[in-house]
Amino acid sequence: ERWSDTAILEEHAYTQELADSELPAVPPLAGAGGVTLHPYAGFRFAVFPRQGGHAPELDAAGTLERLGRLLGRLHAVGALRCFRQRPTLDIDTFGAQPSDYLLRQEALPADLSASYHQSVTLALDGVRRCYDRAGSIALIRLHGDCHVGNILWTDDGPHFVDFDDARAGPAVQDLWMLLSGDRTAMTLQLGRIVTGYRDFFDFDPRELHLIEALRTLRMIHYAGWLAQRWTDPAFPLAFPWFGTPRYWQERILELREQIALLDEPPLLLP
């Protein structure tokens, strides 16, 4: 099981807490007695209201500032208490454990295993240096997977969905996936997000040291997540390219590119 019942229920309580604070999160519907997690034929399920929308147009005027304000409000609620049942986003759970699993399970082609091992080792060393430069960073409850696919926009504005990766971590984890382009473009985007964010919650600029570290951990974790779920019949159908030599060659190249980026100066707020 990926999540225990108590961890799932903590996610449900978190999204309800956000909704109760008038944030556009989508909590599950509660049945009799307030139950949100239901068993059926060996499975567990929750029922959510149908709320559609499209991905936000990040280049549109005011969009990033608006998302920044919402994320500042979300983090102000997230900082009120800690998760008790859900894990922390850290180097071990998002980097060391998934990469060890890949190598231990021999998920890679034999002729690429050594290259991957070398690349992921150097990448994790770089991630640790980023964390050292950032120093002691506050960990708060996050969305955890805040990319544009999990933000749905309607005429009434955005709402956040898919909190199943919610966990504790640095606030910048919910910001960096909204950045794209070259360094200049990302600096401008970050400035707009943080301008809105600071209307509701403080942003620690030391966390900027973690952007490329968190990007690297996401890459490693995603490959490990796919490998761990590969026995699920739905996964080979949904991800037929996983495990091919080309897939791993691309992952190794990505890690090598990240190794260089991890020692570059962080983005600076304009």
Within 10 angstroms of residue 30's Cβ, the number of other Cβ atoms is 13
101 located within any domain: yes
The pLDDT assigned to 1 comes to 59
Three-state SS annotation for 117-173: HHHHHHHHHHHHHHHHHHCCCCCEECCCCCCHHHEEEECCEEEECCCCCCCEECHHH
Catalytic residues: 145, 162
Q: How many domains does the chain have?
A: 1
For the chain, the farthest-separated pair of C-alpha atoms sits apart, in whole angstroms, at 56
Tens digits of per-residue pLDDT, 175-212?
999 999 999 999 999 999 999 999 999 999 999 999 99
Q: Is the pTM of this model over 0.85?
A: yes
Domain CATH code at residue 221: 1.10.510.10
160 located within any domain: yes
Please report which confidence band the pLDDT of residue 155 belongs to, taking 50, 70 and 90 as the band edges.
very high
Within 10 angstroms of residue 13's Cβ, the number of other Cβ atoms is 14
Tens digits of per-residue pLDDT, 1-23?
579 999 999 999 999 999 999 99
Number of H helices, E strands in the chain: 9, 6
50 located within any domain: no
Please report which confidence band the pLDDT of residue 231 belongs to, taking 50, 70 and 90 as the band edges.
confident
36 located within any domain: no
20 located within any domain: no
244 located within any domain: yes
30 located within any domain: no
33 located within any domain: no
Containing structural domain, residue 160: 57-261
